[in-house]
Amino acid sequence: MAKKEVEALEREEELEADHAEMRVYELGFHIDPELSQEEVKKVYQGIKDVIEGVGEVVAEGTPEKIQLAYTISRMEHAGRHDFDNSQFAWIAYETDGAGHEKIAAAARAETRIFRFLDIRTTKEEAKHSAEVAEMMRQAATEQETVEEEVSETELDAALKEVGV
């Protein structure tokens, strides 16, 4: 065998070994906010099922309605569709190269997902993201409770002022 042929075979073997290596990825995706809650859950579960079929879920953030920082436009059969908010979800998972390709293909094929990002990460970073998301969710709930209590107090004070 010629030297170039040997080098090509070695590169191919390296790529195959790299493709078989288990890695952790995080898929963040925006689901059409105009869908019903049930449809949003179906889209999320569909992606999660693909992930579980080829790998293991490490951490996840279920769909949550968010305001986008900027408008995202997408061309559809009926014309341009602009999105100012989204049902955002994320799933961190561990899989090999073939599994990663299947997951990315499933996200691309799902027409109700209008934007996604799939990046490499670590289990520790993914679990930390889940912890931070939970703390943010708890803080938001506590803030709503405080605002309701303040509103009740302000309402009582206002009623006393008018003599009711």
Q: How does pLDDT run across 13-55, given as a tens digit for each residue?
A: 565 666 679 999 999 999 999 999 999 999 999 999 999 999 9
Extract the residue ranges of the chain whose pLDDT is less than 70.
1, 6, 8-19, 144-151, 155, 158, 164
Burial (Cβ within 10 Å: 0-12, 13-18, ≥19) of residue 3:
exposed
Residue carrying structure tokens 């293991």: 56
Domain boundaries, the chain: 19-122
Output the pLDDT for position 106.
97
The domain over range 19-122 is classified in CATH as 3.30.70.60: yes
C-alpha Rg value of the chain to the nearest Å: 23
**pTM of the entire predicted model:** 0.73
In this structure, how many other beta carbons lie within 10 angstroms of the beta carbon of residue 113? 22
